[in-house]
Structure 1
Amino acid sequence: MRIVDLSSPVDAGGFEPDPVVHEVMSPREGALHMRDEMRQHFGIDFDPDDLPDGEFLSLDRLSLTTHTGTHVDAPSHYGSRITYGTGVPRHIDAMPLEWFLAPGVVLDVRGREAGVVGADDLRKELARIGHVLAPSEIVLLHTGAADRSGTSSYFTDFVGLDAGAIAFLLDEGIRVVGTDAFSLDAPFGWIIQRYRESGDADVLWPAHVAGRHREYCQIERLAGLADLPAPHGFQVACFPVKVAGAGAGWARAVALVND
């Protein structure tokens, strides 16, 4: 079995609308920090210089959103109220783990201008690769956006799904939909322009709004989809970090390929 990394990094050196702050405490600073913490909280004194090279345990502090890097959106990300079940959406820590280990299929929608693809586009791609969707498969959209990760254009130049496309996938029993783009919806600027032209509220983030009516999760900001040997015939593992009460959790998404 070969493991293919499908995750983009959390990188403070790349462009982010919500900047990542990454502070690194060196092993020497970590030793001094541990001395101070042990003294303050547990009344224990020790000399850091007794440690090898006077060093012990580096420490990283990060300030970032749960939507930085590859992550899984929970139903609670889409709104505070839903029209199914109890009326209260689940947070990421309450989602069934079974959802996030399943057969995967990649749909190639590269080579398009910023905007959306529809259900017919997905059906044509499925026909091209000779695959029939099965319930609970994980569908991954290969938009090509990952090539621009770390730049400002990554957030403005990509394709998402329209209302018909996400409805088609959910009707087929898909519960997890991923993309290598910033969002499963079209870019913000494209959406707002279409809304101003039409006045139709249905163009406002339809893939996300769909989650208010049907329970499903999105994986956003994937990478490495071009490294997969085939568009299907592999497993996806994308377990989200168990952040209590959160609308998303970071994930180290991978494909498990039997060569």
Structure 2
Amino acid sequence: MSGLLDEVLSSHGGFGRWRKIEKIEAGASIYGALWIRKGHGDALRGVHITAKPREQWISYSPFKGEGKRSVHTPSRTVIEDTKGKVLEARDNPRAAFDGHTAESKWDDLHLAYFSGYAMWNYLTVPFTFALPGFQSQEIEAWHENNETWRRLRVSFPDSVATHCREQIFYIDPRGLIARMDYGATVTGGVPTAHYLLDHRNFDGIVLPTRRRALRRNADGSAVPEPVFVAIDFDDIRFS
């Protein structure tokens, strides 16, 4: 574990606090140009999210209509009713994106998979970086917003569904993640600069309450418009 990673874990609440958590719940609105492009517009506004921190399991409710919810794991994505009756399901859901481009439309199970794995990562980073299979290395610093941001290059294990295997995380002077860079393979690999904003302490865990994902230029700078993904959290709860 790198010295920078130790600082980041401490600034976000500490791994000791994280290990006591069994469930994460959040209220959020998710919107932006990506969802419009994929044919789902405001489908994820006003959702309730439930996730398990120690396995990649996450659910959205309501999902594409009242009385329905999504359930995502890396190997299977399901849309079910509130009593657990399966309405739609897809095994090996990532394979359903084979051949997709940035312009490809999504069905409801594509949406459930992408929104599921992405949000699970967002709610569990940086604590997942301390788990077996993750590798992190500090790389050269970056200057933005009149600050110097230290950077971590993180390699994700194959067992974790995520945007891409290698991602860059920018750490502000407080030790908080201010930005992450990736190219999500299931959305065509578009270079992305994803900003984490307005961090708050939620029962000992510090997470951003707003996220904005923008296109990234070849020089690493972000294109301000359009906002491809916007996430606004109403609340995050741990139990």
Same fold, judged at TM 0.5 (above):
no
Q: Structure 1 length normalisation: TM-score?
A: 0.25
The structure with the largest strand share of the pair is 2
The structure with the largest helix share of the pair is 1
Higher relative contact order (CA 8 A, sep 6+): 1
Q: Structure 2 length normalisation: TM-score?
A: 0.26
The structure with more radius of gyration: 1
